Amino acid sequence: MTIPGQPSASPEPAAPLLKVEGLVKHFPITKGLLRRQSGAVQAVDGLTFDVRPGETLGVVGESGCGKSTMGRLITRLLEPTAGRIEFEGRDITHLGVAGMRPMRRDVQMIFQDPYSSLNPRHTVGTIVGAPFRLQGITPEGGVKKEVQRLLGLVGLNPEHYNRYPHEFSGGQRQRIGIARALALKPKLVVADEPVSALDVSIQAQVVNLLDDLQEELGLTYVIIAHDLSVIRHVSDRIAVMYLGKIVELADRSPLYTAPLHPYTRALLSAVPVPDPARRARRERILLKGDVPSPISPPSGCRFHTRCWKATEVCAREEPPLLTLRPGHAVACHHPEDGSDSGARGAVT
């Protein structure tokens, strides 16, 4: 949980576990009987980031900004339109089902909806044992024993082996999904909104479980969430996404205390603050309007239709993702620290 430490202090960070470059996914929109392409949903449009071994990268953004698509791309459930994905230095961008199969042991996914991610016709034993069957592995002591050990690991009764998913609560189902994801001892786990379908009262339990398991098993996480509150305590670094792009990528504490992107500030202002004194001082930023359609995203900075700092250059030129401070990258013509003066052509 605290691997990266001082980003400026470490001169050469360890080789990334996962390296993503210019990742793009466009879903074609077809029309008519001949299925002619009439446009595309630009769900993910040029993502570049690394995931370092042992860290937790949080990915945050509003609904529809392409977070799940990103998760499905790096677990290769979707075929990228462009870009490059490297896992442990190996290019996995266009591997097929057979080519990916051995990689599947190392990269696993936890899904959002615990009611849809477990097959209702399979017992818990079958579900958690499926990874072994599909990968042709016989664990030490047999599948049943290993499945029971995994159930215990995620805080379930190992005797519930023969039960069906409908006999469990949402939180317990999510634990079953976690047990399945951990069965093959993966290196990287992508968790797509692992708690957003759960009762608020049990969200923290599941997040804590993920955190404990990371320490115990040395996992690396990419955790997707739609607001900044859930992942606050578990992320080492956080990427903020808006309409298919990363707008800010920073270590946790600078991102929460000194965000550079207006969108991040807006998201942060929605995070509940427990301390009443601070709550009183803080202004609440309400974004106007809806997220624009990813079919025809706004020109220039995609956020300019909703940004209170937008100027004429914002609509014209797309701001690149620049590292303004060590370990803190932002894509904005007028970042919050006021470093935009002149140089970037902000004429007001």
Partner 1 sequence: MTAPLHDTGAAGAAAVDVATDVPGKAIEGRSPWRIAWIRLKRDKVALAGGVVVLLLVLVAAFAPLIVGLLGHPPNEFHEETIDPFFSTPKGSWGGISSDFLFGVEPGNGRDVFSRVVYGARVSLLVAFLSAVVAVVLGTVFGIVAGYFGGWVDAVVSRVMDLLLAFPQLLFIIALVSVVPNSLWGLQGSGVRMAVLIAVIGFFGWPYVGRIVRGQTLSLREREYVEAARSLGAGRGYILFRELLPNLVAPITVYTTLMIPTNVLTEAALSFLGAGVKPPTASWGQMLSKAVTTYEADPMFMIIPGVAIFVTVLAFNLFGDGVRDALDPKGSR
Ligand X SMILES: Nc1ncnc2c1ncn2[C@@H]1O[C@H](COP(=O)(O)OP(=O)(O)OP(=O)(O)O)[C@@H](O)[C@H]1O
Question: Which residues contribute to the site for partner 1 (CB under 8 A)?
Answer: 35, 72, 75, 77, 97, 100-101, 104, 107-109, 111-113, 115-124, 130-131, 134-135, 152, 155-157, 159-169, 171-172, 177, 180, 184, 201-202, 204-205, 208-209, 212
Question: Is residue 83 within a helix (H) or strand (E), and if so which, with residue range?
Answer: strand 82-87
Sheet holding 56-60, edge to edge: 107-110, 188-192, 220-225, 56-60, 237-242, 245-251, 328-330, 322-325
Q: Which whole-number Å values give the CA distances from 173 to 162, 195, 230, in the listed order?
A: 14, 11, 19
Query: Which of ligand X, ligand SF4, partner 1, none does residue 304 bind to, with CB < 5 to 8 Å depending on kind?
Result: ligand SF4
Told to check if 68 binds Mg ion by CB under 5 A, we report yes
Rounded Cα distance between 69 and 244, Å, is 9
- Spell out, one character per residue from 218 to 237, where the chain touches ligand X: x when CB under 6 A holds, - when not: --------x-----------
Q: Is-contact 72 78, C-beta < 8 A?
A: yes
Q: Kindly tell me which of 30 and 293 has the beta carbon lying closer to partner 1.
A: 30
- Give the Cα-Cα-Cα angle 208, 267, 40 (nearest 5 degrees): 100
Q: Kindly tell me which of 42 and 117 has the beta carbon lying closer to ligand SF4.
A: 42
Query: Which of Mg ion, ligand X, partner 1, none does residue 41 bind to, with CB < 5 to 8 Å depending on kind?
Result: ligand X
Q: Kindly tell me which of 209 and 287 has the beta carbon lying closer to partner 1.
A: 209
Query: Which of ligand SF4, Mg ion, partner 1, none does residue 68 bind to, with CB < 5 to 8 Å depending on kind?
Result: Mg ion
Joined tokens for residue 61: 């953004």
Q: Kindly tell me which of 184 and 249 has the beta carbon lying closer to ligand X.
A: 249
Write down the least CB distance from residue 320 to ligand SF4, Å. 10
Query: Which of Mg ion, ligand SF4, ligand X, none does residue 301 bind to, with CB < 5 to 8 Å depending on kind?
Result: ligand SF4
Q: Is-contact 318 89, C-beta < 8 A?
A: no
Residue 134, SS3 per DSSP? helix
| Unique residue bearing structure tokens 């914002």 | 314
Q: Kindly tell me which of 49 and 168 has the beta carbon lying closer to ligand X.
A: 49
Told to check if 41 binds ligand X by CB under 6 A, we report yes
Query: Which of ligand X, ligand SF4, partner 1, none does residue 83 bind to, with CB < 5 to 8 Å depending on kind?
Result: none
Q: Kindly tell me which of 139 and 262 has the beta carbon lying closer to ligand SF4.
A: 262
Rounded Cα distance between 279 and 134, Å, is 51
Q: Kindly tell me which of 68 and 148 has the beta carbon lying closer to Mg ion.
A: 68
Told to check if 42 binds Mg ion by CB under 5 A, we report no
Q: Which residue is nearest to ligand X (CB)?
A: 68
Joined tokens for residue 129: 């044992």
**Count of positions on this chain that bind Mg ion (CB under 5 A):** 1
Query: Which of partner 1, ligand X, Mg ion, none does residue 63 bind to, with CB < 5 to 8 Å depending on kind?
Result: ligand X
**Residues 79, 303, 223, 137, Cα dihedral to 10°:** 0
Binding residues for ligand SF4 (CB under 6 A) = 262, 301, 303-304, 307, 309-310, 314, 319, 332-334
Write down the least CB distance from residue 235 to ligand SF4, Å. 22
**Residues 139, 144, 146, 147, Cα dihedral to 10°:** 130
Rounded Cα distance between 219 and 216, Å, is 8
DSSP 18: E
Joined tokens for residue 41: 């949903």
DSSP 167: G
Q: Which whole-number Å values give the CA distances from 120 to 71, 100, 166, 310, in the listed order?
A: 24, 27, 7, 49
Told to check if 27 binds ligand X by CB under 6 A, we report yes
Q: Which residues bind Mg ion (CB under 5 A)?
A: 68
Q: Which residues bind ligand X (CB under 6 A)?
A: 27, 41, 43, 61, 63-69, 226, 294
